[in-house]
Amino acid sequence: MAGRLGGSWTFSPQKWFHREGYQEGYEEGSSLGVNGGRQNGTLHRVKLGSEIKGYQNFAFAWRGLLHSCATEEDSKKMKVLESLTGIIHKFPYDHPAYNKLHEDLDKNKSKIFTFCLSSCS
């Protein structure tokens, strides 16, 4: 029910509730969106960190194995492991907007794949 309060100004409870409801919904939705984004980012960062740590552990374990029985063929494998370790150490863990993230992860995966192929032959 709209009422006239002097002059040309009209108060409409429906418009007021609509505006207030919109504002409250927008604020709550924004808050939920920010929190959801943080949770999603944290989850992906944990997955990324565990993947990188797995590559690092793989390289360290093989380095120890190859140092114990070094042959000429093993020196090639050591070069691949050193390259992988270098990529891992240069990886920017603290930079959330790193634009070559997937490229560097693919390099890590290809280095491990190359190493595994050379180890099996």
- Assess whether pLDDT exceeds 80 at residue 80: no
Structure tokens, 7: 């002059």
Highest mean pLDDT among 38-42, 68-72, 111-115: 38-42
Q: Note the pLDDT of residue 63.
A: 81
The overall pTM is greater than 0.75:
no
Is 84 exposed, middle or buried, given 0-12, 13-18 or 19+ CB atoms closer than 10 A?
buried
For the chain, the 3-state helix, strand and coil shares in percent, each to the nearest 5, are: 80, 5, 20
| pLDDT over 50 at 1, yes or no | no
- For residue 78, give the nearest of 87, 86, 67, 90 by alpha carbon: 67
Q: From the CB of residue 115, how many other CB atoms can be counted at a distance below 10 Å?
A: 21
- Tell me if 60 sits within 8 A of 112, measured CB to CB: no
Q: Per this entry, what is the length of the chain? A: 121
Where b means 16+ CB within 10 Å and e means fewer, 55-83 reads bbebbeebbeebeeeeeeebeebbebbeb
Answer whether 84's CB lies under 8 Å from 115's CB. Answer: yes
Reported as a single tens digit per residue, the pLDDT across 17-53 is 777 877 888 888 888 888 888 888 888 878 888 888 8
What's the whole-number mean pLDDT along residues 90-110? 76
